[in-house]
Structure 1
């Protein structure tokens, strides 16, 4: 710790440290005051492990700074906001939103296991944060109760985006102890394979299991035994999860390709959170709210390629036969011993250098403009345009002949809509900050392109009916978010509506529909007709 708690220190001439909030493997989080804007913030002081060469330390700090800025691009109510990356003593200091509340780990320690309905609500909010991050090309890699905050106002916030990517991959300290919690690592990460969005879904499944059962399913007496259990052991059946159990089990499938899709998982979690019991479906089931319209066989590009995960050729239904489990156990132990010998010096050197490349699938920045090699396993609303000659198109990058050039792949547009607030009850017109609000993720197959869209209600009305433009530049990522607050209501009654996002260019596609309600409690002198208020929110995707 660089300073004694309570001792004033000004960082970057702007952020005055007031006292420590917590300490982790690579630094300490301070409560601080932004002297320019006059508000309290959280400042994470980051320190490299001792004993590293100066050149490696600087590369590590430069990578941390780049990843923090990448995390700052994730804009979502369930994600802690990164305000700034300041430099002091040649080190980055990550300035973040200050959340007043308790970590989920503290809540579980104090109250014990949660009812399935409450755990499902927290899980759905965390998953909404992950989906927004994955759409921006950012993996979390450290989803666990200690990184989930329950704010005093009930907001669920996922913290340590971007920063956790470096901490999660710095596997060992100088003394050989694991940084982080190995029981939350996905099997593919325990085996040293490249993680993808499915790895974060596994960690969410472990979090939900721990929240309802009171303990994580694979924890053992040593880190290496825990990693072996993550790879080889069967999931202990949940006893307290009730209607949440099928969701947890579907998220904790060893093979990432067989895990429940993020869209379907969030849908089921919200049903459980509302007191219902979701219908179960196969792994990777499509989002029941979504629709797919395609021309040809080309699938839409996604920010991350699918993570390959080997399974024995002898059985299509048993991905973990006894012989394979033995080989995996040997692999895990071998990896653990090798990492123990390498220690943190070699690992941090790798982290410090890999930021200079553009990694496929593991990059913390936004995805590049070209199409990726995989198609999503869920199906939000998608449309594919044919080539100019009317054919379905080349079907992806890399289809070049021996001579000449290939056609570009057909353009695709994928839209998925999620609620931020889906109901309001009180005096009308509803305040803008309390009215139903929604966020849509728009993903295109290639850039540059300009998407024209509008918000529409099922009954044909909307408080924001005009067409709007969302540009994707040549250097932009392929996913952007837009948000909307719906101000339509009916006096002295409850208005039930369903909202969608319609795209007309470069192709026509309509998102899944999200239901919402507005209940007006105070009588006003109106004729009871549907009223549409002015001033809907502007898009927040840029």
Structure 2
């Protein structure tokens, strides 16, 4: 992704660009200063590359603007606040196809991915306390008809009260921390088909719900809850359920391999099982998830919250298998209700068909990857 902003540059006659905080496929984030309100801010810069056809560049600008508006709809303590958005047309010298800057709350925090890399795993009670804040953030987002679509440890900010160099143990710090869900960079407003082009699959492979691999751009609250389950699994185990260097292998595993049995989840095992049910209809909904996390955060067991018969699960937890440890830096809307009893048989039949379709999609993706490698 091209970078246009320079240190000291003023955007929209108001926001000063200071230090670069990070960058990725969805843009560059800068530390900035709001000269009007005299406060620090974070500024996310997304540059449309030069050479993109004018019509496509316009669609991209429109998409980024809508995404900023989707994030700005949220007002919650566990969601990074969006303050402003500035969209610039293509540069007169054709050095870019346009720029969109999103001005956000600057949060002094470490991301959960960095914490997991350093400490390998967190205790189940600590993960429950962290997860409870994330679940309430998702609940607020879904209530506003906003779907995140990229929940993962790298998009979870943990405001450690003692700082990164504190002598206080990490469990105590996380227990006292504000946890914030950030980077709604590929978020969508439910029911707005213009936000994501048909057939476009967005998100991080290891955290994509199996149904998204079948339906592509289709996403609902259940897919966000799957990603939350993968995130909490990574916090307890040190890695998500499925991961690796080859995204196509990961996709095949997500769609066709049972979830590895977590070894360190303790009281959260039932919760992870519920969130990582491969059938989105049987997957735990947000209310059940919050109730289970609340109990686990208080020292109880999530299995005592709305016990679910094993027969209703479309995919039981399987014994764990050896996987490579992740390297540093890896990577219509309606509330979902768990289907128990009536309708479960119909759901299972439908999900079997989806699993077959997913296997076909995975084979096609693998074939396309092989062809691409031969041509490149």
TM class by smaller structure: 0.7 to 0.9
1:126 and 2:134 are equivalent in the alignment: yes
The higher-RCO structure (CA 8 Å, 6+ apart) is 2
Q: Which residue of 1 aligns with 2:67?
A: 67
Once the 2 structures are TM-superposed, how far is the Cα of residue 281 of structure 1 from its aligned partner?
A: 2.7
**Residue 91 of structure 1: CA displacement?**
2.2
Matches within 5 A, 1:460-475: none
Q: How does 1:210-359 map to 2 (within 5 A)?
A: 210-278=234-302, 279-282=304-307, 303-304=333-334, 325=355, 327-334=357-364
Counterparts of 1:179 and 1:20 in 2: how far apart (Å)?
Answer: 25
Task: Give the C-alpha shift of residue 270 in structure 1.
Answer: 1.3
Q: Could you tell me whether the CA contact under 8 Å between 2:212 and 2:223 is conserved in 1?
A: yes
CA distance in 2, matches of 1:220, 1:124: 28
Quote how far apart the aligned CAs of 1:282 are: 4.8
Check the 8 A contact 1:9/1:16 in 2, yes or no. yes
- Residues 320 and 228 (structure 1 numbering): CA distance in 2 closer, same or farther, change over 3 Å? farther
Q: Please give the residue correspondences for 1:92-491 in structure 2 after superposition, counting only pairs within 5 Å.
A: 92-153=100-161, 154-161=177-184, 163-165=186-188, 180-193=203-216, 194-278=218-302, 279-282=304-307, 303-304=333-334, 325=355, 327-334=357-364
Question: What CA deviation, in whole Å up to 9, does each residue of 1:72-95 have, x standing for no partner?
Answer: 111110000000002345422000
Structure 1 unmatched ranges of 5 or more: 285-301, 343-542
Mapped pair 1:91 → 2:99: yes
Contact 1:258 1:283 in 2 (8 A): no
Q: Give the C-alpha shift of residue 213 in structure 1.
A: 0.5
Shift of 1:128: 0.4
Deviation of 1:164 after TM superposition, in Å, equals 4.2
Root mean square deviation, CA, Å: 3.4
DSSP-derived class of the 2:71 partner = helix
Name the CA shift for 1:171/1:15 in 2 (closer, same or farther; >3 Å). Answer: farther
- SS at the partner of 2:281? helix
The question of 1:14 aligning with 2:37 is answered no
Partner Cα separation in structure 2 for residue 219 and residue 320 of structure 1: 27
Q: Distance in 2 between matches of 1:114 and 1:9?
A: 41
Contact 2:48–2:99, Cα closer than 8 Å, also in 1 = no
- Cα contact 1:15–1:35 (8 A) shared by 2: yes
- The residue aligned with 2:43 is 43
Cα distance in 2 for partners of 1:319, 1:339 equals: 31
| SS at structure 1 position matched to 2:66 | helix
Superposition TM-score, scaled by structure 2 size = 0.75
